Structures are given as C-alpha cells and as structure tokens.
Amino acid sequence: MKFFVDTADTEEIRELADTGLLDGVTTNPSLIAKSGRDFFDVIKEICSLVDGPVSAEVAATDYDTMLEEGKKLAGLADNVAVKVPLTMAGLKTCSQLAKQGTQVNVTLCFSAAQAILAAKAGAAYISPFVGRLDDIGQDGMNMISDVVQIYANYPAFQTEVLVASIRNPTHIVNSALMGADVCTVPPQVLKQLVSHPLTDKGLAAFLADWEKTGQKIL
Ligand code: E4P
C-alpha cells in the first residue's frame, strides 16, 4: 500500500519525506488556501521534495478551461498529477489529458458508479472520499470495498484506488484489508498510526533494564 500525505504544508511534507514512508502528496484548493501561499510556488516546491505524484487541482468547471489549466499544471514538474472533479467536464478533461500522457487524479468521488466512469476515462487515480460519506451517515468504507472489487473484475482498468478524506487509522487498516492501492492521509493521522501505548510502555521498560546492565552499544 502506498501512502500519500494530504497537505500543502511544505514543512510537514519535508519532515514526512525524510522518514522514507511517503509515496506522494495530494493537495486541493482548500489546502492551498490554508497554506496562504502562491499555488504554483507551493506545487513546484512539493514536487521537488517528493519523487512520487503530487496532485494539483484545477479550478475551472468547464471542459476547455479545465483542459488548459490541466496542461499548465502538468507543465510545472514531471511528477504532477492533475486533479479534476468527478463531473462530466472533469471526466472529459481526464480522458484528454490521459491520452496526452498526463496522470490524472479524479476527485470528489462518492459512489462506485462514479468510480467506474473515472476508470473508463483513463484516470491514473480515483479518489473516493470516505470521511465525508461517514459524516452524512453513510459507510464510506463500503464504497471502497465495492470499487476495489469492481476494478479487480476488469484488468483493463489501470486506475488505482486512492482512498481520500481519511479521518483515522482504522480507515487506513480497512483500506489495506480491502486491497486499496493508496491512502492519502492527513499528517496528524499518519503520526497517529505509529503510536501505541504498549509500545511506549514496553520501550520505557526495556530502556530501564538496559540502564541497569551498565553497558553501551556505541
Ligand atoms: C484528497 O485528495 C482530498 O482532497 C482530501 O482527502 C479531502 O479530505 P477532507 O474530506 O478531510 O477534506
């Protein structure tokens, strides 16, 4: 399973990239707004920090403008994945950009039916949002299970399932059990993944016992 981090905060990205755990980055207009920085500067900087795909989202809603925006974003760096919304114009843009060899991440997916269309449009990634479905009382992980199964039925579909809108470590573990390709994770959830109270307790006990030996490794 690949891990992308869902942020436009370059300091957080730098810190996580140094761990070797990071396979890519996703941003969206809300995360860019939160960064308070110039969109193009942020995307170029992120692309220099990670080798993997960096999703940069178009802002237009009509096909012609979306396509031009997509081409401009794709030209920023070799590892940009253009992010388009799951609308008819977004799917048409995806299809066109994919034919030109650009990686496209189709975002704002809330149903397996929508995910089928993204695969047919040649998306490199489909981003089904689990947390936002959970928020309205539906089960986001059911959608992931359906999408993974459907894509497995059609080997011609090359689209990777990129689980988005992740709220907690359980979303990640269940995504892995279901065989999703990628999770895009907020930095705080990525840090939660590593924590376990028994790890902390066990480490404290080992260190105390080691101290009693009076020995040193270095
Ligand atoms: C990912 O590409 C999405 O932009 C992101 O996961 C949305 O998450 P949210 O529902 O927490 O805003």
Q: How far is CA 44 from the centre of its chain?
A: 17
Per-residue confidence of the chain (218 residues) as pLDDT tens digits? 999 999 999 999 999 999 999 999 999 999 999 999 999 999 999 999 999 999 999 999 999 999 999 999 999 999 999 999 999 999 999 999 999 999 999 999 999 999 999 999 999 999 999 999 999 999 999 999 999 999 999 999 999 999 999 999 999 999 999 999 999 999 999 989 999 999 999 999 999 999 999 999 99
Give the DSSP letter of residue 2: E
20 conformational bin, left if phi > 0, alpha if psi -120 to 50, beta if neither: left
- Residue 215 resides in a domain: no
- Residue 201 resides in a domain: no
Of 46, 129, 135, 143, the one to substitute when testing ligand 1's pocket (max ligand atoms within 8 A of C-beta) is 129
- Residue 205 resides in a domain: no
Least Cα distance to 145 among 106, 171, 119, 125 occurs for: 171
- Residue 209 resides in a domain: no
- Residue 38 resides in a domain: yes
Spatial distance between the Cα atoms of 112 and 151, rounded to a whole number of angstroms:
10
Q: Which candidate in 83, 120, 191, 212 is catalytic?
A: 83
- Residue 203 resides in a domain: no
Report how many domains make up the chain: 1
CA of 128 to the centre of ligand 1 (A): 9
Of 34, 184, 188, the one to substitute when testing ligand 1's pocket (max ligand atoms within 8 A of C-beta) is 184
Residues with CB under 6 A from ligand 1: 6, 26, 28, 107, 127, 129, 131-132, 164-165, 184
The CATH number given to whatever domain includes residue 69 is 3.20.20.70
For residue 30, what are the domain limits? 2-187
Catalytic residue status for 99:
no
H or E element that contains 193: helix 187-194
Confidence (pTM) = 0.96
- Residue 121 resides in a domain: yes
- Residue 93 resides in a domain: yes
Q: Check: CB of residue 178 under 8 Å from CB of residue 145.
A: yes
